[in-house]
A and B are shown apart, each in its own frame.
Chain A
Amino acid sequence: MSELEKKLGWKSLPIGGYLLEPGSAMKYKTGEWRAFRPVIDQKRCINCLICWIYCPDSAIIRLEKYVDVNYDYCKGCGICANECPVKCITMVEERR
């Protein structure tokens, strides 16, 4: 069966193109887009949350004492590294 044929048909889809599952975009892993990945030096992180508020993709995870990156979704834009007040984030080339 082709990729297209595997998708749901008109009988099973909700009417009107309505999407009934909120936040279903989480199933789409935009992390595959990355050319560079942010690496956080968690020892130097001051947990200011500046990177968290500015990340367009909600890819910064708030932990108790510092933050981490959700690499499933991070697109590698580099805003976090650019904005970090203590410069503890480095953009490293993604190796495949």
Chain B
Amino acid sequence: MVRLQDLPVEELFTSGHRLCAGCGAGTIMRMTMKALRGPTIIVNATGCVEVSSTIYPYTSWKVPWVHVAFENAAAVASGIEAAYKAMRRRGAWDKHVDIIAIAGDGGTFDIGIQALSGALERGHDFLYICYDNEAYMNTGIQRSGATPHGAATTTSPAGRKIPGKPEFKKDLISICVAHGIEYAATASPAYWNDYITKVRKGLEVNGPAVIHVFSPCPLGMRFDSSKSIEVARLAVQTRYWPVYEVEKGKYKLNIKVPQPKPLVEFLKIQERFRHLFQPEFQHEIDALQRWVDENWRKIASLCGEAT
């Protein structure tokens, strides 16, 4: 637990980036930088954050930062980690360097899953943060493996025949935990203390750690820019986005939601779900609710909580 007053004032992710007004990822990057404990290198996959924060000749980063490609943040981080290990062994480097790979849901769930899996299996010492805005937002809101059932995107539009994305969201944390890593967690920027604590925890792990954080997107999820944090809070309060952590295989629910808000409150505020409110698609809302319930039940049970 830390107080806001005690967080460092210095901004290592500066103003002047071109993220949309109200972008959840901007908030997440700032919070991440507040959790650093020493020399840190950021590896950033192609995506909203990368593109908006480093338009030549401007960069928002005051830490060493590398972008190589879309699908390989974890592989590049592996290479950097190995390099520092080897250079330290031959006396060319002396201190420990933290490495954080940051990628969106696109660069993690889909095109980046291979590199992530490889890096986790090899046990490199790095933290992987997936900021999940639930679609390929940077290229104009196309669906990803992280897009929830029923959400409208440009490649899963709300059509007359198929109302939004038919498939359900991939379970990233289960995939990561299956690799036997020491720490995996979900987070929401609305709960800044929980997120910052988790970033620090992830850095302190000697080996791979993964944090999956919900990143509200005013443009792609279609809500007013002022509501980003509110949406991030509703996600948690409706049990849509359970906030938990898995430490050495042991599950713990961090944000308890004994009296969840109705899912429709989360859906109503975002126009990407608007089409589901037509009477003929009520069953889709039911399906999404069932998925939320089942997901919650599964995680709560793993966490030893009452379901």
Residues in chain A within 8 A of chain B (CB atoms):
17, 19, 21-30, 33, 48-50, 52-59, 62, 70, 72-73, 75-79, 81-83, 91
Residue of A nearest to B193 (CB): A53
Residue of A nearest to B225 (CB): A77
Contact between chains at A17 and B58 (CB < 8 Å): no
Query: Which of B26-34, B105-113, B293-301 is near enough to bind chain A?
Result: B26-34
Hey, which chain B residues are within 8 Å of A19, CB to CB?
Answer: 54, 56-59
Q: Can you add 9 more A-B contacts, CB < 8 Å, to A23-B14, A49-B5, A78-B224? A: A17-B56, A23-B16, A24-B57, A27-B16, A33-B21, A50-B4, A58-B30, A77-B23, A78-B22
- Asked if B226 CB lies within 8 Å of chain A CBs, one says yes
Contact between chains at A79 and B60 (CB < 8 Å): no
Min CB–CB distance B202 → chain A (angstroms): 19
Contact between chains at B4 and A56 (CB < 8 Å): no
Residue of B nearest to A78 (CB): B226
Beyond A19-B57, A79-B22, whether A29 also contacts B229 by CB under 8 A is no
A81, B224: Cα distance in complex, Å: 13
A26, B61: Cα distance in complex, Å: 10
- Asked if B252 CB lies within 8 Å of chain A CBs, one says no
Tally of contacts, chain A with chain B, CB under 8 A: 114
Residues in chain B within 8 A of chain A (CB atoms):
4-5, 7, 9, 11, 13-19, 21-27, 30-31, 53-54, 56-63, 189, 192, 218, 224-230
Hey, which chain B residues are within 8 Å of A57, CB to CB?
Answer: 15, 17, 19, 26
Hey, which chain B residues are within 8 Å of A52, CB to CB?
Answer: 4
A75, B16: Cα distance in complex, Å: 10
Beyond A17-B56, A52-B4, A56-B23, whether A26 also contacts B225 by CB under 8 A is no
Contact between chains at B61 and A23 (CB < 8 Å): yes
Beyond A25-B16, A56-B27, whether A75 also contacts B21 by CB under 8 A is yes
Beyond A19-B59, A49-B5, A82-B229, whether A26 also contacts B16 by CB under 8 A is yes
Q: List 6 A-B contacts (CB under 8 A).
A: A26-B14, A27-B16, A28-B18, A56-B30, A70-B15, A91-B226
Contact between chains at A29 and B16 (CB < 8 Å): yes
Contact between chains at A30 and B61 (CB < 8 Å): no
A77, B61: Cα distance in complex, Å: 22
Hey, which chain B residues are within 8 Å of A59, CB to CB?
Answer: 15
Contact between chains at A30 and B15 (CB < 8 Å): yes
4 nearest A-B residue pairs (beta carbon): A56-B26, A78-B226, A25-B16, A77-B22
Min CB–CB distance B62 → chain A (angstroms): 4
Hey, which chain B residues are within 8 Å of A24, CB to CB?
Answer: 16, 57-59
Hey, which chain A residues are within 8 Å of B218, CB to CB?
Answer: 77
Beyond A24-B57, A54-B192, A56-B19, whether A77 also contacts B14 by CB under 8 A is no
Min CB–CB distance B224 → chain A (angstroms): 7
Hey, which chain A residues are within 8 Å of B224, CB to CB?
Answer: 78
Contact between chains at B228 and A77 (CB < 8 Å): yes
Set A23, A25, A62, A91: member contacting B9, Cβ < 8 A: A62
Contact between chains at B59 and A81 (CB < 8 Å): no
Set A28, A53, A70: member contacting B192, Cβ < 8 A: A53
Contact between chains at B16 and A30 (CB < 8 Å): yes
Min CB–CB distance A10 → chain B (angstroms): 13
Residue of A nearest to B7 (CB): A53
